[in-house]
């Protein structure tokens, strides 16, 4: 019985000190600009996105972003996915952490999923229509 108690104690202590794997930092000046978007309340229970001038300045421009693929469908290769400066394990919906800035990507050619960060180049679009689609898009993206 003592052996089992000792084993149980060791297993519990191991899980107590388990940590989320450290990911490579991919924050750039462009990710910082994307993070400037905020929401303001325009009337009770109605919120509107606000895009500061520095963020609007990159609308319709070709940009490069390093980051992690966040799949939205099952598979190993994707033409459409979400892209974040942190991996899926750091997302509160899929792992731990805060809600990161994300951008919806549509690529010219399929990109294979990887746990490591990649760099994408594409046309940055701000969706300020108020519809339920993503706020930011990277269109015609290619892997660098």
Residuewise pLDDT in 10s, the chain (144 residues): 565 555 545 555 555 444 555 566 788 999 999 999 999 999 999 888 999 999 999 999 999 999 999 999 999 999 999 999 888 665 545 555 556 789 999 999 999 999 899 999 999 999 998 788 899 999 999 999
Q: Could you identify the residue written with the tokens 């750039």?
A: 28
pLDDT for 132 equals 82
DSSP letter at 36 equals: T
Spatial distance between the Cα atoms of 122 and 18, rounded to a whole number of angstroms = 38
pLDDT at 22: 59
Handedness of CA 6, 7, 8, 10 (dihedral sign): positive
Q: How far apart are CA 131 and CA 122, in angstroms?
A: 22
Under 8 Å between Cβ of 35 and 101: yes
Q: What is the CATH number of domain 29-143?
A: 2.40.50
**In this structure, are strands 46-50 and 38-43 parallel, antiparallel, or unpaired?**
antiparallel
Domain ranges of the chain: 29-143
Cβ of 143: how many Cβ atoms within 10 Å?
16
DSSP per-residue string spanning 58-116: TTTEEEEEEEEEE-SSSSSEEEEEEEESS-GGGSTTTSSS----EEEEEEEEEEE--SS
- Helix, strand or coil, per DSSP, at residue 32: helix
CA angle 128, 130, 134 (to 5 degrees): 70
């Amino acid at each position: 019985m003592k052996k089992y108690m000792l084993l149980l104690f060791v297993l519990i202590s191991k899980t107590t000190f388990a940590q989320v794997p450290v990911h490579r930092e991919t924050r750039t000046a462009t990710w910082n600009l994307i993070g400037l978007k905020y929401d303001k309340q325009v009337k009770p229970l109605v919120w509107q996105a606000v895009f500061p001038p520095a963020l609007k300045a990159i609308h319709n421009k070709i940009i490069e972003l390093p980051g992690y693929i966040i799949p939205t469908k099952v598979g190993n290769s994707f033409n459409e996915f979400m892209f974040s400066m942190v991996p899926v394990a750091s997302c509160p919906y899929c792992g731990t952490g805060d809600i990161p800035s994300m951008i919806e990507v549509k690529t010219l050619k399929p990109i294979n999923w990887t746990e490591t960060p990649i760099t994408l180049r594409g046309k940055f679009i701000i969706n300020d229509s108020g519809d339920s689609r993503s706020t930011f898009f990277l269109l015609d993206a290619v892997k660098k």
